[in-house]
Chains A and B, each alone.
Chain A
Amino acid sequence: MLKNMHTAPKQVSVPIAQAEFPQPFPVGLEYSAPARGTQNIVFTGLSIPEAHSIFVCPQGCLRGVVLTAADIGASDRFSTIAVGESNVLEGNMEDQIIDGVGHIIDQLPVTPPAVLVYTSCVHQFLGIDLHMVFGTLRANYPAIQFTDCYMNPIMRKSGWNPDQKMRRQLYSLLKPAPLDEHAVNILANDYPLDHSSDLYQLLSQNHYTVREVATCKSYADYQKMATSKVAIVTRPAGKPAGKLVEKKLGQQLLYLPLSYNYEEIIQNLQKLSAALGLNYQPDPQTIAACDQALAAAQAIIGNTPIALDGTLGPRPLGLARLLLEHGFRVTDIYIDMFNKEEKADFAELQAIAPDLAIHSTLAVGMRVAPRTREEKVLAIGQKAAYFTATAYFVNLIKGSGLYGFDGIQRLASLMVAAYQEPKDTQALIQTKSWGCGCL
């Protein structure tokens, strides 16, 4: 019969005071926790309206992406070409892509305006001539825009990882166009920026059009992103995308990182205002409202332990610091690599909360680590919810569109809701992209 094997785990946790930065744990064999709500490169590519995605990979690599597309009901915009042993041995992988992509396009009921062709690790290792492949495809189908995308996780520790590359390639199809002084792009986010956020409000109140891929309704809408004067990136993974539109389209790149630090939030808004020539002054009432929201949440949540994880967004340490500074009891962070932008927050947390436990999510010992807690835990992020086996969690994924002072206030109310209303954690976190919408 089934057995649970519990052995004493090795070093899977460390107090932050003793943790190394940016990598707190040695890398060995890796466990994959059943918290699957984060989006992947399939979502990113499919976010371009009307575009068709074609993945060219071995069967085992196709499996996850084809089911991701099926999971979200996008199979009609998604096709595959399976690389087999014979293709590797015969060295015909260029022909396979050209013929296979052509075959798929010819079968589609409607010719797509753009096709994203994803190649994989095996193409890279065998040095196939992608320049020739895409040149031929463009010659064969001049009415279609093609772009090269990559599912090569073996490169995730070599320069840009596949996620960064995909966020960049998302904008490679934009055709240079005259710039509109009153249009701004928000780039490379999984979820659209909340319209109530300080950033969006500042832009809309000054009559700027705000464009994001996730809110485009058509391919024509997407192409309008080429006309925006300014491109805003709010997370590190989006920087290559920002550099692309800056160089290719002449857009002014602004890096305004999602932050939980009041000063940095103000600096971001000031930076944007300076770039656009707007008059922005920090509003003490907004800051006071933020503090009040956190205080109100703290009054309800009290001394309940709070666990965070690295999937909630790019600044989990910043969030931990904010919460600790507002009287919350943050006890655990599940994370395998710190964002280098968070070095100051890391140092501050070492000083103000030296016992804050940092846990690996990948270490093999986490497969058998006890997940039960004696007291109620409030988690923010799916992995934190899984590892603490709590039903009380904020299903926050990669920031989920929250930003600035408004984002903090919204998060405070989400924490209260999560604290008061249990969720079906197992059902929610095992399905791709069931974050945010289920907040």
Chain B
Amino acid sequence: MKDVARIISTYTCDTSGVASALYELGGMTVMHDAAGYNSTYSTYDEPRWYDTESLVFTTGLTETQAILGDDSKFINDTIEAAQELKPKFIALTGSPIPMVTGTDFPAIAREVELATGITTFGFDTNGMHSYVAGVGLALKVLAERICQAPTHKSEALAVNLLGITPLDFSTNGTATALETVLEQQGIRIQSNWAMGSSFAAIQNAGAAQVNLVVTAGGLPAAKVLQKRFGMPYVIGTPYGAAFTAQIGAAIRKAATSGENQVVCQPRVNAKTIIIGESVTGLSLANALYAATGAGATVLCPVTPAVELLTTGCIAARDEDELIPHLAAATTIIADPLYQPICPATAKFVALPQEAFSGRIYHQVMPNLVSHLGTLLEELGS
């Protein structure tokens, strides 16, 4: 049955996706909610919460405010906090009740921006979409409003990495490894959206020739940057030497042709299933194919990069959608919290993801960019 989970977990939502994407950029994210969204975010979604200060707050929305449609406390408290903390920008995000009461986040954002003089974004998140949608909204706004028209292009071939958050890559060094493997291909990193890059680097992203979309959350920004600055994009996550070389070649081709490049080919194999985000999942399928000659079918339970949906990457979220595919598999690569719905006859290879199991497996989140070989060993390849 649609939307029903007897035993599996749920992916974190769009509101957390916005906060995660903007976490390191010096802004202030405000969740218009009673309390739970920030509590969940800080407990399960955000591994940087303890060690890295970032301004993420909740408005403490009450029943009375919601019934009366009273946004004044939300607005005034946001302005007061911004004046005290002086963030580089403000991001206003929602939750289910503001959706029901029709809170106009873009309008409130304009009001806050006028009052504070600080660039303010209003996101119509409502907690009913996956984190990928939220990451996409946040990075798209950066592309629209923060990136400046390039005064010059990088002399060396340079890319922006789009769609990087701990929700997909944890804090285990993957974000840095993504940069390293591309630099080893002779490709300079202009900016990383958004783990480890400065706000200024993202402002100057237009200096790169190409954008590399490493998760579906980066795709809306890539499309904006293509429209604004004519930058082509490549979709793929550099997992494994062979697939990374393919991505490197695609980046060069995109830079010279100005055309977007598709490297995430479907690698249909109903016997091996990967459950996960569309770009990273298909990239892993391609990396396996490059390493072993056998691919995998990806089941994508979160907002996908629509252009990647094929028989090799199937949208499937609910247990009843997933189980028939899993029943036919002999190998399943997925977060451990999927294991209860996997057949005991299939080999289960754990691939924990912060967006699904939160911090529960944080200490063992794999870095597939640097250590794909470990996964291949587990697969017996």
User: How long is the Cα–Cα vector from A82 to B6 in the complex, in angstroms?
Assistant: 11
Give residues 245-286 of B contacting A (CB, 8 Å). none
Tell me if B4 counts as interface (CB < 8 A to partner A): yes
Tell me if B144 counts as interface (CB < 8 A to partner A): no
User: How long is the Cα–Cα vector from A126 to B198 in the complex, in angstroms?
Assistant: 43
User: How long is the Cα–Cα vector from A158 to B34 in the complex, in angstroms?
Assistant: 12
| Most A-side CB within 10 Å, residue of B6, B12, B95 | B6
Closest to B59 in A: A29
Closest CB in chain A relative to B66 CB, distance in Å? 6
User: How long is the Cα–Cα vector from A67 to B57 in the complex, in angstroms?
Assistant: 21
Contacts of B49 in A (CB 8 A): 34
Closest to A362 in B: B60
Tell me if B358 counts as interface (CB < 8 A to partner A): yes
Do A100 and B3 have beta carbons less than 8 Å apart? yes
Tell me if A354 counts as interface (CB < 8 A to partner B): no
Identify which of B1, B30, B196 contacts A1 (C-beta below 8 A): B196
Identify which of B41, B57, B62 contacts A158 (C-beta below 8 A): B62
Contact A364-B10, Cβ < 8 Å, known A32-B58, A60-B16, A156-B34:
no
Do B57 and A29 have beta carbons less than 8 Å apart? yes
Closest CB in chain B relative to A118 CB, distance in Å? 13
Closest CB in chain B relative to A369 CB, distance in Å? 10
Give residues 171-217 of A contacting B (CB, 8 Å). none
Closest CB in chain A relative to B217 CB, distance in Å? 16
Do A64 and B85 have beta carbons less than 8 Å apart? no
Do B43 and A36 have beta carbons less than 8 Å apart? yes
Give residues 177-198 of B contacting A (CB, 8 Å). 196-198
Do B96 and A60 have beta carbons less than 8 Å apart? yes
Closest CB in chain B relative to A47 CB, distance in Å? 19
A94-123 to B contact mask, C-beta < 8 Å, 1/0:
001001100110011000000000001110
Tell me if B5 counts as interface (CB < 8 A to partner A): yes
User: How long is the Cα–Cα vector from A79 to B44 in the complex, in angstroms?
Assistant: 18
Tell me if B9 counts as interface (CB < 8 A to partner A): yes
Task: Number of A interface residues at 8 Å Cβ cutoff, please give it.
Answer: 67
Closest CB in chain A relative to B35 CB, distance in Å? 5
Contacts of B40 in A (CB 8 A): 60, 63-64, 67
Give residues 41-59 of B contacting A (CB, 8 Å). 41-45, 48-50, 52-53, 55, 57-59
Do B6 and A28 have beta carbons less than 8 Å apart? no
Tell me if A85 counts as interface (CB < 8 A to partner B): yes
Contacts of A122 in B (CB 8 A): 96-97, 100
Stretch in B126-134, B290-298, B371-379 touching the partner = B126-134
Identify which of A2, A29, A75, A108 contacts B52 (C-beta below 8 A): A2
| Most B-side CB within 10 Å, residue of A87, A96, A125 | A125
Contacts of B63 in A (CB 8 A): 154-155, 157-158
User: How long is the Cα–Cα vector from A5 to B53 in the complex, in angstroms?
Assistant: 7
Contacts of A141 in B (CB 8 A): none
Closest to A386 in B: B50
User: How long is the Cα–Cα vector from A430 to B43 in the complex, in angstroms?
Assistant: 7
Closest CB in chain B relative to A335 CB, distance in Å? 16
Closest CB in chain B relative to A424 CB, distance in Å? 12
Closest CB in chain A relative to B275 CB, distance in Å? 16
Contact A9-B36, Cβ < 8 Å, known A29-B57, A75-B7, A80-B5:
no
Contacts of A33 in B (CB 8 A): 42
Do B15 and A82 have beta carbons less than 8 Å apart? no
B336-352 to A contact mask, C-beta < 8 Å, 1/0:
01001000000000000
Closest to B84 in A: A10
Do A107 and B6 have beta carbons less than 8 Å apart? yes
Contacts of B100 in A (CB 8 A): 88, 122, 125-126
Do B95 and A60 have beta carbons less than 8 Å apart? yes
Tell me if B86 counts as interface (CB < 8 A to partner A): yes
Give me 12 A-to-B residue pairs in the complex whose CB atoms sit less than 8 angstroms apart, sorted by A's number: A7-B84, A29-B59, A31-B57, A59-B10, A63-B358, A76-B7, A81-B4, A82-B5, A126-B100, A158-B63, A158-B64, A364-B81
Q: Which residues of A contact B (CB under 8 A)?
A: 1-5, 7, 9-10, 27-34, 36, 58-64, 66-67, 70-71, 75-76, 78-85, 87-88, 96, 99-100, 103-104, 107-108, 120-122, 125-126, 151, 153-158, 364-365, 367-368, 426, 430-432
